[in-house]
Structure 1
Amino acid sequence: MRHLRALCAIADTGSLHKAARQLGVSQPSLTTQLRRIENFLGAALFSRERTGCRPTPLGRSVLSRARPLVAEMGALVVEAKAAAAGEGGPLLRIGSTASRALAGWLRRLRDRLTGTDISLHMDVSANALLRMVAAGQLDVAFVHEVEGCPLLVPDGLCARVLVDREPQFVSLARDHPAAAAPVVDLADLAHDRWMVDPTVDGEWDGLRRVLGAAGIDPPVLHGDYHTAASLIAVGEVVAPCQPTSMPREDMAVRPLRGDPLAVRLLLFSRPGPSGELYESVYADLTAAYREAALRAAAYRQWLLRHKSPLLAQAEPAPLPAA
């Protein structure tokens, strides 16, 4: 199963680097593992290209058999653990990409669903979370979809739109000349080095599209956003960020003029009988997101300028516990 999971991860991410990060192993280790599998089968399963790894015809054939096996094994493990831990007690398994609404969402759910075992699984890859929902390993997944980079949604999943178009802001050093204005032009960042996390689905492709449309080709550094924060503070890089991001003494958060970079926020689940439960899950997420949005001054001002309906939404009335 370990080999099959590795093959699926490489195919899904299109990159040995991204697949290794998703699997929690080093890239050299994954490369060696793939080489051993291909040597055992006697043929290449992936073609290595400048843009990444693509399955060969044999690779596609192997993957068509591997995917259902991996999904079934994942579901078996999850169901066995649930049975051992709760003996059929109420469970709610949540998956999410990074969001400042998470803390408020979990707080509301725990208040509402007393006695329910609520778990959280974080992943930088929205597509990986959707596969877990489809395989029965998660009940819901809160994810973002970068504009222009559609998610790979497995058949049968249901989606609720939380925010149809959330603008992405930019974080930059507090003493950056562009930080003096309430709104930043991309042209003012043309000579800055940008930092982006390529393991976040669609993140690099979306930013590259926006920069190209603006006629800008700045140097780009690939890395995680935790590292980016320390580099932004000393003026080494600028980076896209969620509008709910909070500024710091050494770092400013500003909207981009014209909002060229955006994402869609979605809640996915499988169809089933728990309609009332998922309605309450969605209502609590909506309230938590609004709370996070209004707490961030730059985003609150953006919502006011755009007369967002989010400002008029009230905290939802409590629904019956599941």
Structure 2
Amino acid sequence: MQLELRHLEAVCRIAEAGSLGRAAARLGVSQPALSAQLRRIERVAGGELFTRGRHGVDPTPLGEFVLSKARRVLGEMDALAAGARAAAPHPTLRLGCILLVLVDRLIGRLEQEFAGQEIEVDIEHSVTTLTRLLAAGRYDAVVYGEVADHEVPLPDGVAARTLVPKEPFCVRMSAAHPLAGRDRIELADLAGETWMTMVEDDDGGPEALVDACAKAGFTPRLRYRIADRKMHYDLIAAGRAISVSQPTAPPAEGTVLRPLAGDPVTGRIRLAWNRAAVSERRAGLLYRAAGLAYLDNVPANAFHRIWWESRPELHPALD
């Protein structure tokens, strides 16, 4: 067996994740499969690359050497792919996004800003996957969210710009819920509820929700994790669960959106792009398209429109 790029990527992901389980999840493989692959890589490398303990894995001296070379090789391959695309006369712009509310309006805005240019937009359910594919040259740019103090690590050669520095998450609940008639809801009043967890589990969202609930005096009962919007809304409308939501989310039959008192959970939206594949001008057009798509959704909920209009310092600079 010879080492291939996929083997080098696996070693790097194990080191970044700090455990085989987390690395396997980020790579989209099972932990036993990744463990078997690591053993094969170690046989070729001539020794153990990681020491394994109760709290995860740490690189051995040999592992540190392999990691330094692997990162360099992967970086050069990414630069080669990005440079080749940048040299193409009319490269297709490939954009990856997590399932933010603004994505619904983003495609139309991109068509306006990039008139006559080919654009591909993919949706991922993991920020880690987005940034990994950005590093690998699969995407030229990505739009993603971060919750509370979480910062998504970005690969080398990537520039980033914050689109919306702060937005307060609200709660979606059944229109028949006893608290649905309130204008604003205290988080502590939701202590006995069953929660729909966020689809993205690597943007800091679940940790932020658990931390906010702890400060409110309870531990949330997290049960459902559903990406399909219709099923998500149907479960809430039926009174089976509640969920946190972006304040720009659209109405859904049988449900209501209500702000949380004190804004206990907040997020931000960012744009990142590969500098070798996306010029400053194209990055500016991307930023403008995403900013306009966000603004298109602000009027969806009167409570957020009032909150937003009172904070002009948070508005994206679209001039």
Q: Normalised by the shorter chain, which TM-score bucket?
A: 0.7 to 0.9
Q: Match for residue 55 of structure 1?
A: 58
**How far 1:61 sits from its partner (Å)?**
3.9
Q: Match for residue 123 of structure 1?
A: 124
1:70/1:143 Cα in 2 relative to 1: closer, same or farther (>3 Å)?
same
- For the 8 Å contact 2:165–2:314, the answer to whether it is kept is no
One-letter amino acid matched to 1:178: L
**Residue of structure 2 aligned with 1:67, choices 51, 68, 71:** 71
TM-score (norm. length: structure 2): 0.79
Q: For structure 2, list consecutive stretches of 5 or more residues without a partner in the other structure.
A: none
CA distance in 2, matches of 1:160, 1:200: 19
- For the 8 Å contact 1:90–1:115, the answer to whether it is kept is no
Indicate the percent of aligned positions where both proteins have the same amino acid: 34
Q: For structure 1, list consecutive stretches of 5 or more residues without a partner in the other structure.
A: 318-322
Q: Match for residue 289 of structure 1?
A: 294
Provide the aligned length of Structure 1 versus Structure 2.
309
Q: Match for residue 213 of structure 1?
A: 215
> Could you give the per-residue CA deviations for residues 125-151 of structure 1, whole angstroms, max 9, x where no partner exists?
334434544555433221212111122
CA distance in 2, matches of 1:314, 1:202: 23
Aligned pairs for 1:133-148 within 5 A: 133=134, 136-148=137-149
1:316/1:151 Cα in 2 relative to 1: closer, same or farther (>3 Å)?
closer
Query: Residue 208 of structure 2: SS of its match in structure 1?
Result: helix
**How far 1:63 sits from its partner (Å)?**
2.7
Aligned pairs for 1:34-45 within 5 A: 34-38=38-42, 41-43=46-48, 45=50
Q: Match for residue 178 of structure 2?
A: 177
Aligned pairs for 1:131-280 within 5 A: 131-133=132-134, 136-155=137-156, 157-196=158-197, 197=199, 199-221=201-223, 223-226=225-228, 228-271=232-275, 274-280=279-285
**How far 1:266 sits from its partner (Å)?**
1.4
**How far 1:165 sits from its partner (Å)?**
0.5
Query: Residue 221 of structure 1: SS of its match in structure 2?
Result: strand
1:38/1:202 Cα in 2 relative to 1: closer, same or farther (>3 Å)?
farther
Choose 89-98 or 256-265, whichever is displaced more.
Answer: 89-98
CA RMSD of aligned residues (A): 3.5
Query: Residue 179 of structure 1: SS of its match in structure 2?
Result: coil
Choose 95-104 or 133-142, whichever is displaced more.
Answer: 133-142
CA distance in 1, matches of 2:53, 2:226: 24
